[in-house]
Each structure stands twice: as C-alpha cells, then as structure tokens.
Amino acid sequence: MPPLLRLRDPTTLLPSLAAASHLRALHAHLLVSGRLASPSHLAAFLASLAASNHLAYARLVLPRRPATLLAHNALLRALARGPRPGLAFAAFRDLPLPPDHYSLNFLVRAAAALAASAAEGRPAVCTEVNAKLQAVSAHGAAVRCGHAADPHVQSGVLSMYAALGDVAAARAAFAEIACPDVVCVTAMVAALAAGGDVDAARDLFDGMPQRDHVAWSAMIAGYVHVGRSREALMLFDEMLSAGTTVGEATLVSVLTACAQMGALDRGKWVHWYAGSRGMQMSVKLGTALVDMYSKCGAVVTAMEVFESMAERNVYTWTSAVSGLAMNGMGTECLQLFKRMESAGIQPNGVSFVAVLGGCSMAGLVDEGRACFDSMDKYGVDPWKEHYGCMVDLYGRAGRLDDAINFINAMPMEPHEGVWGALLNASRIHNRVDLGKYALDKLLAIESENDAAHVLLSNIYAESQNWKGVCRVRGMMKAKGVKKVPGWSTIEVDGKVHEFFAGSKSHPRYNEIELMLVEMNRRLRLQGYTANTREVLFDIEEEEKEGAISLHSEKLALAFGLIALPEDVEIRIVKNVRVCRDCHDYTKLISKVFNREIVMRDRNRFHHFKGGECSCGDYW
C-alpha cells in the first residue's frame, strides 16, 4: 500500500470546494484505495479538477506526488482547454521535468485558444498583442525543446497562426515541414482560407494526394468564410460524388452556405440528409438549421427547429432572436430574448445587437432602450454597433432629437455606423437638413461610402430636390465612387438563378421578357404607374442600366412567376436594399397574381401577400 497523501481538510483551504462534494469524495476514494499513486489515476484526477475549475486544488495535489510528465501534461492539457488558457504558460515554465512532445502540443493549443479569444474580442482573456507574443513564445519553445518536427505540434502551430490571422507566419511554418501529412495540409488549407486567400487554399487542396472528409470540410468552410457560397455548394456536390463520408461539420458549413444564398430547398435537403443518416441534432447543427431557415425567410420552421432542440446555447438563442428580428417579428423577438434571460442564458454583445435590431424594426423604442440599459447588468460593454442600433431605434421611430442627443452623449467618437443610421432615419423622415449633416460626418470618416451617397441622393429625390440629386451624382463621379452592382437571386428546383439589373443573359430571357410585359399590363389595369421620379433619380442602390422594369428583383420575380408552381411562394434574395418602386410593384404583384413573395434585402425580409408587406412600408 503506497503512502497516503497528507492533506488538511480541503474545504478549509478552498471554500469553493465545499460545493463540489463529489470531487472530495473522489479524492478520498483515490487516497484510501491507494490509486492516487498510479500516474494515470492521478493524471485523470488532475484533469477533472482543472476542468471543473478547481485549479488551486490541482496545484495543491500535484507537487505532493512524484513528478511524472503524465500528470503534469494532464494539467497542461486541462489548462489549455480551460477558460484561462494563459495559465498553461506558467505551468509549462514551472515543469519539474523536461517537456516532451505532448507538453509542447498542449502549450501550442493553449496559445491557439488565446488567439481565438483575442479574435472573438474577449480582451479580458487575452488581447491581440498578447496572443501574438504567446504564439511566438509557444512556437519558440517547441523549436527550442526539439519538438517542432512532431506532426501534432506542427498542425497545432498552423492552426494557432490561423487563429491569429497571421497567414504569413503559417506559410513560413508550413514551409518548414518536410513531409506534411494530410492533417497539416488541411490545417494549412484552413489557415489560407481564414486569411482570405481561398484561391491559394484551393490550389493546395487540389494538390493534396489524398483528401479525407475533414479536408473537404475545411475547403468548403473556406469558401463559406469569404462568402463564396455558390462555390462551397459546388464543392459539396463534388464531395458527395466522390463518395466521401459527410460529417456534421461539413453539413454545418453547407447550411451556412445555404443561409447566405437563401437556398431554402438545398437547406431543407441538408436537414433531411442529416436525419436520414441518423445524425443527432447537436447544438451546432441545430443552430445552423435555425440560422438557415431564418435567413431563407422560413421563420416558422426556424422556430420549430429551435423548440425541438434538446440543448441550446447562447449561439442558438441569439440565432433565433436574430431570425425573428430580420423577419420583422419585433414583438416575438423581444419575447424570445426575455425567455432567453429567464432560461438563465447570459446574453452577450451579439445577442444585444440582435434584440436591439428587432426592437428597431418594430418601433419598440422604450423596450429597446431598456435592453440597452440592461447590458451593464450582464457585464457587456456596449460596442460601437450597439450605439448604431440605438441611433437607428430612435431615428426610425422619428425621434431624431433623441437620436442626436444619444450621439452627443456617446463615450466614444461616433463611428460611420452611427452616422449611417442617422442618415437613413433622415431619409425615412424626409429631413434633408439632418441628412446632409449626417452625410458630412460620414464622409469625413469614409469618403468613398457608396451607400451614403446613394442615401443622400434618395433624400433629395424624395423631397424633389433635383439639383441636390445632381450634385450628389457629380460628387460620386468626381470621387470615382462606384455603387455596388445590385443583384437578385431566386432558387428554382434547387438551382440558384442570378439576375443583374438590365441583364438579358438568362437562358429563358425571352419568356421573362414576355412575362414582364404581362406583369406591367395587369398592373396598369390596377392603376399602377411606374414611379418615374424615382427612375429619374435612381433611388435604387444598384446600377441603373435599363428601364425601371429591369431592376434585378423584377427579373427574378418574372422568372419566379414562370418557373414556380402557383402554390409555392416566390423567394428572392437581394444584395442591396429594395427600392420604393420595386417594393410597391411587388406588393401589387402579390395581389394581382395572388402569390406569396418573400424578399430578403441587405437588412431584412419583406413578406408580401395580398398587396401588403410585412414591413408595413417601413424600412
């Protein structure tokens, strides 16, 4: 029987341990049975202590046992995975034995976790500067200790630099690897994609001698990361053809791609596929589904998935809150947010962005203000985005004085989002004076903001100030400000069709043109006339390349009427905001053709039915 560990009653040392009676019981059991002398049992015990946040207790136990790397590595691992990965560095420095490749691996993982914290904007855990220092330090330690050639350490170093966003460092580290295995190449593919160079990632991926499902998944995620969702879905099709196993991570990325594109049919197929493969509904998969359904305008289904989930975290709740907000269901959004609070989920900065957006859409000014004020209670410091939301909240509701007072009381320099919100509010409420003021401020920060110029042009147009419109056009020309080309997409039979303003390149353009004529004929019978004022002044945030009847959403709408059965809703996704004329036009189409039309624009959804829109003409 090995000697028992002598300890004072741990509860007197660590009051917090009193709550964890099972740990004390476990400790006692290990002591009495003598198993604490077994390195593997000790390691497991240390790991469970560290994982349950009883670090001080772990530190107390560890030095009293014979030093083994196994035990110390267990602690390192637990620290690296824990809430404060920085602690692994101190533990590494204090190792009583020379570190092995396991120790280095855990150290590198700790540095990667710090980088992730910094990237997620949690400076309390780690600042960006510190993350860089720690990364270099961990990499240096690996080299110094002679473990830099270990494949596990190598892949860790690559993902660490990827998490830091330092592609150059990742490239340099990758170049040092004589024979990178599939794991290291995949880590490099991910690092390149995370750094924005997806094409380089694709080249590396194409050159891989063998690819497993993780490699495919990394490449698909890379496309999604930079918003190239069409290519992500094409690659997923290739992956299916190649017969590679499809895991949950792949489906999550594919769902994100569907969400970006508004590809509801593809998203539904993924949902079905996951079920047919007997995959359990994990938090991540469920959250991705909620997000996908929301962003495809199928908010009812999104909520059904949400309600059916066995486990939900802050991502899940925030995704649902945000989904209700973007679908214009402000009251429900606020209710769900309150449910989240009651469920004991701590809202974070993103959650507040979501609920403030919902309040703003629904004109719930006082409720939104109360949410903003409650941030303090949750220890969430307002970001510039939250200030932007508040200005939008007051501004949309017509409380422009409150918006301005709010800006003046900001503890930081107002950023472009704040002025943009004020500018938009000025447009909604026809306040040319205020709009000019906001634009001046905005352009002082961002002189080539295309949306800002277009907004000001809209303000002038809506107050019939043609000179002002021409001046803005002149300014844009002089500065070479280019508007983002507008496009609309529509999914038919799982294929996403893309339309640009005035483009005639669709294979079925002849039919589309005939349908446009028919649409215009039937709308004229209803008394509709195109808003020529707005045509003239190009209120649309997209290049005016043809008559107003050729704005991209009208092309998509015409194609939808041709290609989709009558009982199917027409869903259109736009990359910019819908213009007033197209909004009026679509309302009428929904009535005259008796169709439900769902349009997602840059900010929100419009659900058209029977001549009305869910936004109440308020966007």
Alpha helices in 343-430 (DSSP H): 349-362, 365-374, 384-396, 400-408, 416-428
Inter-axis angle of helices 213-225 and 198-206, to 10 degrees?
160
Q: How far is the CB of 2 from DNA (least distance, A)?
A: 14
**Residue 569: HSE in the Cβ half-sphere, 13 Å Cα cutoff:** 16
Four-point Cα dihedral 117, 121, 123, 127, nearest 10: 70
Structure tokens at 511: 């039919």
Question: Distance (Å, rounded) from C-alpha 593 to C-alpha 520?
Answer: 12
Q: Scan residues 130-169 and list those touching DNA (CB under 7 A).
A: 150-156, 159, 162
Positions in 483-512 near DNA (CB under 7 A): none
Q: Is 436 in the site for DNA (CB under 7 A)?
A: no
Kindly identify the residues of this chain, within the stretch 228-257, that bind DNA according to CB under 7 A: 247-250, 252-253, 256
Reported as type and span, the H/E element at residue 499 is: strand 495-500
Minimal distance, residue 353 CB to DNA, in Å: 5
Residue 561 belongs to what H/E stretch? helix 552-563
Which lies closer to DNA via its Cβ, residue 247 or residue 363? Answer: 247
Q: Contact at 8 Å (CB) between 374 and 338?
A: no
Compare residues 181 and 612 and give the one whose CB is closer to DNA. Answer: 181
Regarding 407 and contact with DNA (CB under 7 A), the answer is: no
* Distant-in-sequence contacts of 410-413, Cβ < 8 A, 24+ apart: 412/384, 412/387
Contact call for residue 319 and DNA (CB under 7 A)? yes
Residue 184 engages DNA in binding (rule: CB under 7 A)? yes
Q: Which is nearer to DNA, 120 or 304 (CB)?
A: 120
Q: Which one of residues 105, 301, 488, 586 is an interface residue with DNA (CB under 7 A)?
A: 105
Placement of tokens 């160079």 in the chain = 197
Give yes or no for residue 441 binding DNA (CB under 7 A). Answer: no
Residue of the chain from 357, 358, 468, 486 that contacts DNA (CB under 7 A): 357
CA distances from 475 to 402, 449, 468 (A): 31, 12, 11
259 or 589: CB nearest DNA: 259
Residues 55-94 that bind DNA (CB under 7 A): 68-70, 73-74, 77
Near DNA in 326-355, by CB under 7 A: 348-351, 353-354
Size of the site for DNA (CB under 7 A): 74
3-class secondary-structure state, position 344: coil
**In angstroms, rounded to a whole number, what is the distance separating the alpha carbons of residues 24 and 21?**
5
User: Contacting DNA (CB under 7 A), which of 39, 123, 398, 485?
Assistant: 39
Q: What are phi and psi of 86, to 5 degrees?
A: -60, -25
Site residues (CB under 7 A) for DNA, limited to 514-573: none
Q: For residues 194-223, which are near DNA according to CB under 7 A?
A: 194, 212-215, 217-218, 221
Minimal distance in Å, beta carbon 3 to DNA? Answer: 18
Name which of 218 and 299 has its Cβ closer to DNA. Answer: 218
C-beta of 251 vs 422, nearer to DNA: 251
Restricted to residues 282-311, the positions that interact with DNA (CB under 7 A) are 283-285, 287-288, 291, 295
For DNA, the binding residues in 358-397 under the rule CB under 7 A are 383, 385
- Structure-block tokens of residue 27: 């400790």
Reduced to 3 states (helix: H, G, I; strand: E, B; else coil), residue 612 is: strand
